[in-house]
Amino acid sequence: MAMAIRAAERVVKPGIVGVGKLGLYIAEQFISYQKQPLVVGRTPGKLEKLKASGAQIAASHTALVEETNEILICTKPGKDFHQACDTLNTALAMSPHKENKLFLSCAAATTVEDVTRYLPHASQTFSVMPVIGLNTPLFLSAHSAVTSENRERALNVCKLITPHVYELTSSSTIHAATTMACLPGWLAHTIHTLAKQYRHFGRENNRNPE
Ligand SMILES: NC(=O)c1ccc[n+]([C@@H]2O[C@H](COP(=O)([O-])OP(=O)(O)OC[C@H]3O[C@@H](n4cnc5c(N)ncnc54)[C@H](OP(=O)(O)O)[C@@H]3O)[C@@H](O)[C@H]2O)c1
């Protein structure tokens, strides 16, 4: 008799909603592990380039929900995130396999409780925050309703994005951890911007000496 497949051993079928800077990065990581993602965007034509690198373009958000098991939401937070969740939730309501679908939101300042509130048909929800750059740490927090097997599945998916995955028990600590991880990059960016402005003003002063 065939043994039941544990959820954690199921084949990863990743989907990405929103393929901007972060979605593209994640898609490339999956492709490098031969886990071709199915992606869906908002603006027709913007995803054509991705096809050449091995990603598949879903016909709609509904098709993406039906054909994938681990769905990463990579839209901006706020209005874009709410719209994407509305569409995904409608698709999920009709899906006979909804209990098998993991939703991993990458939206900043959005807790895992927010994700569950905007996706009421999803019970297996996560908040994920990759900090792209040196070492690319990734912070993950799971909703309390998530089963241990699905938590393991989510961890395995995140490990395809980066080996440096840290699970946090509360979704508020995810923001603190992200802020700390982003701080060096933010400081470097601020110093770079200030230095550019300083050089610009220096040139202007040399051009117009009093
Ligand atoms: N960039 C990073 O390093 C980073 C790191 C960690 C977390 N994040 C988080 O990741 C999210 C995305 O950031 P980003 O920098 O990648 O932003 P982005 O470049 O603006 O990408 C967002 C993408 O989402 C698409 N989109 C919007 N609504 C959609 C919908 N309903 N269905 C499908 N696609 C939709 C947008 O499509 P259009 O092309 O039509 O605008 C755009 O391509 C943000 O919440 C951010 O906080 C980003």
Looking at this protein, which amino acid is placed at residue 144? S
Q: What is the pLDDT of residue 44?
A: 78
| pLDDT value of residue 91 | 97
**Residue 63 contacts by C-beta under 8 Å, 6 or more apart in sequence?**
38, 40
Ligand 1 in reach of 40 Cβ (< 6 A):
yes
Whether 42 lines ligand 1, by a CB cut-off of 6 Å, is: yes
Whole-angstrom Cα Rg for the chain: 20
| Alpha carbon of 34 to ligand 1 centroid (Å) | 23
For the CA of 84, the closest atom of ligand 1 is: 31
- Closest-CA residue to 101 (of 209, 2, 7): 7
Q: What is the reported pLDDT for 90?
A: 97
Q: What is the per-residue pLDDT for 3?
A: 47
Looking at the chain, list the stretches that DSSP marks H as alpha helix, in order from N- to C-terminal side. 21-32, 48-52, 61-67, 79-94, 112-118, 148-161, 171-207
pLDDT value of position 177: 75
* pLDDT the model gives residue 186: 76
pLDDT averaged per 10 residues, the chain (length 210): 54 94 94 95 85 91 97 96 98 93 94 94 95 89 95 97 92 75 76 84 70
**Ligand 1 contact via 92 beta carbon (within 6 Å):** no
Task: Give the pLDDT score at 167.
Answer: 93
Instruction: Name the closest-CA residue to atom 31, ligand 1.
Output: 84
Q: Supply φ then ψ for residue 68, to 5 degrees.
A: -125, 165
**Which burial class, exposed, middle or buried, applies to 165 when counting CB atoms under 10 A from its CB (0-12, 13-18, 19+)?**
buried
Give the model's pLDDT for residue 1: 39
pLDDT of residue 200: 73
Q: Is 137 in the pocket of ligand 1 (CB under 6 A)?
A: no
Expressed in angstroms, the distance from the first to the final Cα of the chain is 91
Rounded Cα distance between 102 and 150, Å, is: 7
Which residue, judged by its Cα, is nearest atom 21 of ligand 1? 20
Report whether residue 72 contacts ligand 1, using a CB cutoff of 6 Å: no
